[in-house]
Structure 1
């Protein structure tokens, strides 16, 4: 019997926690791209944070687009002219363009984003409509038809 690893799907989806717990033993997926590295955190019951390492990118070089159930993060480094005196001997800091897509569950909305210390933090929240939230139903008991009824009356003073 073959087993499949759905870990790449966990990395690219937000708000599908229960769905992937159920499908953990079904289907296989190709490896996900590794640049730029990122984290997905659950910060509350209905709140998430995606943190992407975008060292060297300015806010003007980054774009975030939320369309339907897809969140797309793009980074495109502006070309810089190198001076004749400067010559790069080793390039270890990646400055290539990237596009990273995340599938969002229904009712997950982007609350905001901030760039801090080379990390792009995208805040997400799941707003479940009142009609779809679970509700508690009161349980009543049927009283027998022969049960005596209490009669209340006030005495005039």
Structure 2
């Protein structure tokens, strides 16, 4: 079975990058850690990740080619500790979000085991461009 490409449609010229972004976003769709996305104000968003047990130094937030990547890795657990039950996840994670053009990361903060990442969408510039039409030399022969 052949894969149908979104960018192959004649009305979607140059949207092959969008298809790659969608594929990249689908790869990072595991369920840990859980998160919320809130609409805050007219052009704001907040991503909140539940990162109980992680310190600020255990987390890294990067922006790589319009992809917001949050990574978490806890320090090694003391081997002398003996758990009778271990239900709190301490595994490393990577969670990714693809940001649209014009969306900027404003800040990140930790509160009560929740990592908050504030985003803002700038209003796009409305650009109208007139394309001049030139006379073809071939048509005059």
Q: Same fold (TM over 0.5)?
A: yes
Q: Deviations over 1:75-115 (max 9, x none)?
A: 001102132xx411111000000000001111100000000
Aligned to 1:155: none
Q: Deviations over 1:30-80 (max 9, x none)?
A: 893110000000001210000000000000000000122110000001102
Contact 2:35 2:48 in 1 (8 A): yes
5+ residue gaps, structure 2, are 1-25, 128-141
Instruction: Note the aligned Cα RMSD (angstroms).
Output: 1.9
Q: Deviations over 1:106-144 (max 9, x none)?
A: 110000000000000000001124x338xxxxxxxxxxx
Aligned to 1:74: 71
Q: TM-score, normalised by structure 2?
A: 0.67
In structure 2, how many angstroms separate the alpha carbons of the residues matched to 1:37 and 1:65? 19
Structure (1 or 2) with the larger CA radius of gyration: 1
Aligned to 2:126: 132
Q: TM-score, normalised by structure 1?
A: 0.60
Aligned to 1:101: 96
Aligned to 2:118: 123
Q: When the two structures are aligned, how many residues end up with a matched partner? A: 102
Aligned CA distance change for structure 1 residues 31 and 80 (closer, same or farther; 3 Å): closer
Higher relative helix content = 2
In structure 1, how many angstroms separate the alpha carbons of the residues matched to 2:88 and 2:77? 15
Give the alignment of 1:20-99 within 5 angstroms. 32-83=29-80, 86-99=81-94
In structure 1, how many angstroms separate the alpha carbons of the residues matched to 2:28 and 2:97? 15
What SS class does the counterpart of residue 132 from structure 1 fall into?
coil
